[in-house]
Amino acid sequence: MNVAQQDDQRAIQEAVAAICRNFDAEYWLARDTDGEWPTAFCDAIAAGGWFGITMPTEYGGAGQGIAAAAMVMKTIGRLGSAAVSSVHLNLFGPQPVVVFGTDAQKQRMLPALIRGEDRACFGVTEPNVGSDTTRIKTFARRDGDRYVVHGQKVWTSTAQQANKILLVTRTTPIEECARPIDGITLFYTDLDRSKVRIRPIEKMARKAVDSNELFIDGLQVPAEDRIGEEGQGFKYLLHGLNPERILVAASSIGAGETALERAVGYAKERVVFGRAIGQNQAIQHPLAECWMRLQAAELMMWNAARLYDAGLPCGVEATAAKYLAAEASFETSTRAVRTHGGFGFAKEYHVERGLRESVLGLVAPVTQEMALCYIAEKGLGLPKSY
């Protein structure tokens, strides 16, 4: 990056951080306790214009690249995964609309997302499919000028708050397709609760941001809400995978930095046997390793963002960034608890919440194991293993 880009990124970081300072650790501890949606935080991010960071300027966005969005997410990531998850879909989720939507669709769909008036959820994962998206069962049948959808989705975050859904369906049975990736169609449409039953999933962390099962029974979707061509949705999804992995990496790095700061601060202040525990190498060395892991993951993340914004292949780099950032964040969050000793188990020090939240990066949006399979195949040229 040149100096101008560094200055631009610094300006983004400072502006987003100014918003984040109004929502301190106690705010997020309260949301982790009561499970209330962080409305004030989301409204502040929307008011700052950050939902539109990568959206075209003609629709009210800032027209910036993924590197700019990564700085936004890294800064928000310092607050924890609840903060990230409450806003991240509005930041990267509409990319298929931006890239493959018609001008009329963009004009109709994007401005309200950018202003924060619409909130979207992403319906892709299904209970018996996992990472093999080509095997989804949710089906959209064409009926005149609309489609009728039946099926089930799982781990659909923010559906309790959303009024829109980016929905992945089949429009041709896989048995009738030349390739498994054919016959998948993407929609961006209203989340009609009279046709979609939403059931929350209790989970180990991120209580303020809901995850859900969706049971879709006769959802009617206007044909004009179809994104791109019928049956070509899988390639539209692939276009969004690399930005998502870059932004997830960025937010994991931000969370790891906060965990490290808390651990270092405690190590400087906690006195045992007549001196600060941070003077002991058993404390110093693991924290130094955490710092190096976070730095290395961040370098890979910025490299992936640079490649993406330049229009160059970046799948290996984006996947590696997600893997390295998730590992670094989890290891640092674990070390923060251990540095605090018994107090690491207490909620008031905030590191136990950080540890619980860091687990998510190991399993979503792609597991670490699947990331390794991808790197082995695409980065090393080894035979596909799945």
Please give the domain boundaries of the chain with CATH numbers for all domains: 3-115 (1.10.540.10), 120-234 (2.40.110.10), 235-379 (1.20.140.10)
39-47 vs 81-92: helix axis angle to the nearest 10? 40
User: Partners of 216 in the beta sheet?
Assistant: 151, 196
pLDDT beyond 50 at 1:
no
User: In 3-state terms, what secondary structure has residue 137?
Assistant: coil
Closest CA to 103 of 142, 50, 56: 56
> Tokens at residue 192, please?
């009609």
Question: Per-residue pLDDT tens for 311-322?
Answer: 999 999 999 999
Are 172 and 182 in contact by the 8 Å Cβ rule? The answer is yes
Question: Per-residue pLDDT tens for 5-49?
Answer: 578 889 999 999 999 999 999 999 999 999 999 999 999 999 999
Question: Per-residue pLDDT tens for 247-289?
Answer: 999 999 999 999 999 999 999 999 999 999 999 999 999 999 9
Question: Per-residue pLDDT tens for 66-124?
Answer: 999 999 999 999 999 999 999 988 877 788 999 999 999 999 999 999 999 999 999 99
Across 208-233, average pLDDT:
98
∠ Cα 80 330 5 (to 5°): 60
Across 129-145, average pLDDT:
94
Closest CA to 323 of 297, 290, 293: 297
Computed over every residue of the chain, the mean pLDDT equals 96
